[in-house]
Structure 1
């Protein structure tokens, strides 16, 4: 049986003209807010607000940075600045501070011990990454010739190439 493999699953469907539904919603919200402001504020203030509203909605609709929409980038930035930056997992002492951890780590061993342990970790990590299995040496290939018959009836020898 043959099955059709879905392609372009990252591409959104064009719903309203040349815009996707998400782009249309961003532009419609910016346009409707600008329309409501037109009747509620002075014309020069409306023009100033409309520049930012329409510009922001167009940026949200069309700007992508590294393949990510601007809204996702903005939400990631807010989450990064909102959450704490220090991650310490100490199940024994939850009140331990970062400076205490740094001081205790420097007091445990001397410079030589830290260098040796660092080298051991690097060597172990390199062994894990590369593996210890020896690579197989490539086999020498023998040229194999076969005789085949053309449509005209004459016989001809040709080298067989095996690409396995």
Structure 2
């Protein structure tokens, strides 16, 4: 067994992460002394965002996925690339700006989903509903949830978190 351990002193104290390889051969590690893993929450979020951006760029470069990814573009950015910016705006309590991004993303997710005949990615709708709730905008919270349900194929609505939330709001 091989073990790889990384540590970093963060403002809240020492952070350690370890990976173990149970195989018999020499493991191929993602990280090394010269390529350390992200350790802080902010660094992990940035690494995830960078990975999504690389995936989008690769998909748009050609092949079978290019058309699918092109349909999810909003103002030159794929909707998947806006997850971390929305989270950051929410953390900074810039709720109106986060909401604006959520609605741009919802458009991209709807366009991509209608092309594939699937439900739109729900995360952005959930975030918009949460923000509307935080701002005391009950009618707008219901409206954004209804928008997702309308864009969703009927067979994919039952059991969805969005549909459940909407049902609770309708009482």
TM-score (norm 2): 0.27
Larger Rg: 1
Q: Name which structure has the greater RCO, CA cutoff 8 Å, separation 6+.
A: 2
- TM-score w.r.t. the length of structure 1 is 0.28
* Greater helix fraction, Structure 1 or Structure 2: 2
